[in-house]
Amino acid sequence: MLKKITLVVLSFSLSGCISSSTSTIPSETHAFFTGDALCLLTPGRTEKQKLKSLHIEQWGEPPGFTQQFNNVEDYKVIKKDTCMPLFGYKFETGYAYHITLGFTEDTDRAASDYSPDYYSASFIVWESSDKSKNISFQ
């Protein structure tokens, strides 16, 4: 009997069912091509939030591309509803990508089920018959 109780308690603790911490899902990033350049938009982000980090991973090709700003004065101000800087990263047709963007906190934002400080997108880049690049979300 003690073994069964121990197994149940261990299962719940490993699954996070009895943990007081909850994980927050990143907010969704909108992505699309304008010509040959990928544009990322972060709906819901406020003007107070600054870009702290960018991570781009081509699935199956570690380690990926990371741009991390460690000093507050290096954080990037991005105007609302403008494309995020991708620091020259090129997206190849026929590959799947995952992008994560990290922003500073805006304490004036209302609470949400999604993280207001992290955005992510996963997509595949494909080429249409007119040779323009497109994406399909996963």
The H or E element containing residue 6 is helix 2-15
The H or E element containing residue 114 is strand 114-127
Residue 96 CB coordination number (10 Å): 16
Classified as helix, coil or strand, 73 is helix
pTM: predicted TM-score of the whole model, two decimal places = 0.74
Record the tokens describing residue 101, joined without a space. 């963007």
Per-residue pLDDT tens digits of the chain, which is 138 residues long: 555 444 444 455 555 555 555 566 888 888 999 888 899 999 888 889 999 999 999 988 878 899 999 999 999 999 888 899 999 899 999 999 999 999 999 888 777 777 888 999 999 999 999 988 999 986
Contacts (Cβ under 8 Å, ≥6 apart) of 88: none
In order of their start, the domains of the chain are: 22-137 (2.60.40)
